[in-house]
Amino acid sequence: MNILIYSQYLFGLGHMVRAVVLATALAEKHGVYLINAGYSTQALIPHHGYNVKDLYTGKSPSDLGNLYHENLLHTRIIQLCDITHDVAPDVILIEAYPFARRKFKSEVIPFLKFVRKKYPHCQICSSVRDVLLKYGGDEAHRNFVITELNKRFDRLFIHSDPNYIRLDQTFGSLSPIKCRVEYTGFVCRGPDADIQRKSWHDGGSIVVSYGGSIVGNEIIEATLHCHQKFFGHRELHIFTNPTHTHNHGYIKNVHFHGFDWDYINFLGSAAVSVSMGGYNSVIEAIRCKTPSVIVPYNQNNEQDIRLELLRDSGLFEVIAGDKLNPATLKIAIEKVVNKQPCQDKINLDGAGYIKREL
């Protein structure tokens, strides 16, 4: 079976990381083609048995911000149709759309019309995370999503455990949706089997990351100062986003990494992590059972909602962005490393579900 996955990297790598986890699982049995509709990730993401196709993004990164530019849009639609013709897909997974990434509708709609006409038996599936952002004119946005799902999609995969987070908690009732709706469990990576954690009391390390996002530098700075003032004897691993460069020079026991797919193994072996509250950051911490201090992104409520609904599912301490400083971070770290592990049986097998059900 041939499967196309359409995803994109714009604001952060979260959507693309989730798509890569799905692609890796599906490639064990199927031909998988990952279409990257955002900025290129070829140098960032490992390819485990699947193919990656980057859509044209223009002559500069700013070009992608305006997909209504006729020449750019026309080129990308032709690319999508050519890739589809070469692959002859049995299944197409569209990441986030129509719930998010509406700026891509000008290419997604013609693309799906082409698929329906040329490959009428192809299953078209929407792939969406646990918590949705609030949009201006929410009712109009909701009506758009429902109309698109009912008109163009066969299945909706919700990457969450409904015992903890249901899509209707941020979208409203799902009953008007006519396509098949399925909760898959959370989609995430896990550390290698031989990774072992060194506990806080045994001198374990601190890992800090802002998850591939283009925001979050204040978390890095606060953790650096906290480490230098209180925890300088410990190893500190700092993972930045793909565009970040640091100029701190040499600091004892501090190790700077760019975006690194091996981050999950550092997380799995760390005594504590500090991060934002995005889907992958939170779910990977739960998967690794790593005590974590979370600083939610404060420009919308998505991360606050996720942390509230998962508050009993992981070893978390939460600090609001305006309260973050070396002293509050020290207190949160020392509190979370002394918490007892939770016993919740949260479903983290979203990739396995997709592999079985498709």
3 state DSSP class of 212: coil
**Beta strand pairing status for 2-7 and 236-239?**
unpaired
H/E stretch holding 207: strand 206-209
Given a cut of 70, whether residue 60 has pLDDT beyond it is: no
Nearest to 24 by CA among 332, 355, 356, 274: 355
Q: For domain 2-183, give its CATH number from 3.40.50.2000, 1.20.120.420, 3.30.420.130, 3.40.50.1820.
A: 3.40.50.2000
At 261 the pLDDT is 85
What is the per-residue pLDDT across 227-240, written as a single tens digit (0 to 9) for each?
999 999 999 999 98
Dist CA 288 CA 295 (whole Å): 18
Class of domain 200-336: alpha beta
Q: How confident is the model at residue 342 (pLDDT cuts 50, 70, 90)?
A: confident
Contact call for residues 195 and 163 (beta carbons, < 8 A)? no
Given a cut of 60, whether residue 291 has pLDDT beyond it is: yes
For residues 60 and 196, the model is more confident at 196
What is the per-residue pLDDT across 117-145, written as a single tens digit (0 to 9) for each?
999 999 999 999 999 876 545 888 899 99
Q: End-to-end distance of the chain based on CA atoms, in angstroms? A: 9
Q: How confident is the model at residue 115 (pLDDT cuts 50, 70, 90)?
A: very high
Q: How confident is the model at residue 250 (pLDDT cuts 50, 70, 90)?
A: confident
Q: Which residues pair with 183 in a beta bridge?
A: 158
Dist CA 241 CA 259 (whole Å): 5
Given a cut of 70, whether residue 225 has pLDDT beyond it is: yes
* Mean pLDDT taken over the chain: 88
H helical segments located in 41-104 = 70-87
At 92 the pLDDT is 98
At 173 the pLDDT is 94
At 26 the pLDDT is 96
At 57 the pLDDT is 80
For residues 61 and 278, the model is more confident at 278
* Percent of the chain residues topping a pLDDT of 70: 89
Q: How confident is the model at residue 86 (pLDDT cuts 50, 70, 90)?
A: very high
Residue ranges of domains in the chain: 2-183, 200-336
Given a cut of 80, whether residue 210 has pLDDT beyond it is: no
Q: How confident is the model at residue 285 (pLDDT cuts 50, 70, 90)?
A: very high
Same fold, 2-183 and 200-336: yes
Dist CA 289 CA 285 (whole Å): 6
- Cis peptide leading into 291, omega within 30 of 0? no
